[in-house]
């Protein structure tokens, strides 16, 4: 009984907050109200951190074990073997920066959810939409101006 009353109470709270939420969405049309499943997935998310120094230490140890012939072999690496440490460190740095941006957005969304009971997220820009690009109606083409040489 208590679970059905709590769910009905939650629905009533959401209905009471709906006008304020609609006003917020109208202010910024790029915002979209998140579903409960999306919010739950953000709550369950486990963070990933890749320490840059761990790859450097691993690389140094690997270089000690490899023979000079193996070190000279380039294989399919995008950089020479001597620069592989910096290359891997840059990849780890980019992953950590992306993770930090995601966690800031996640914290903002969860803060809104815990304070208001709902949250909005920016809509991802669609690759098919052209934004503000002006298009001509079907059948109408723009004429090219050509210079006539006499």
Residue range 68-96, pLDDT digits in tens: 666 666 566 677 767 777 888 888 889 99
Instruction: Among 26-30, 76-80, 116-120, name the one with the lowest average pLDDT.
Output: 26-30
User: Which residues partner with 122 through β-bridges?
Assistant: 31
The pLDDT, as a whole number, for residue 83 is 77
Tokens of residue 121, six digits: 């997220």
Element (H, E) at 50: none
The pLDDT, as a whole number, for residue 97 is 92
Give φ, ψ of 34 to 5 degrees. Answer: -85, 145
From the centroid of its chain, how far is CA 46? 15
Nearest to 26 by CA among 120, 110, 109: 120
The pTM of the whole model exceeds 0.75: no
Tell me if 116 sits within 8 A of 16, measured CB to CB.
Answer: no
Residue 143 has pLDDT above 80, yes or no: no
């Amino acid at each position: 009984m208590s679970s059905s009353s709590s769910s009905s109470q939650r629905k009533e709270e959401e209905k009471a907050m709906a006008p304020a939420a609609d006003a917020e969405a109208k202010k910024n049309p790029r915002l979209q109200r998140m579903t409960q499943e999306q919010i739950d997935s953000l709550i369950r998310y486990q963070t990933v951190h890749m320490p840059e120094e761990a790859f450097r230490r691993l690389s140094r140890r690997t270089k000690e074990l490899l023979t000079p012939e193996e070190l000279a072999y380039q294989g399919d690496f995008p950089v020479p073997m001597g620069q592989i440490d910096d290359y891997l460190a840059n990849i780890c740095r980019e992953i950590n920066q992306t993770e930090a941006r995601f966690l800031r957005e996640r914290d903002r969304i969860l803060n809104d959810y815990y304070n208001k009971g709902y949250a909005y997220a920016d809509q991802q820009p669609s690759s098919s939409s052209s934004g503000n690009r002006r298009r001509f109606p079907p059948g109408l083409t723009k004429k090219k101006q050509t210079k006539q040489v006499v």
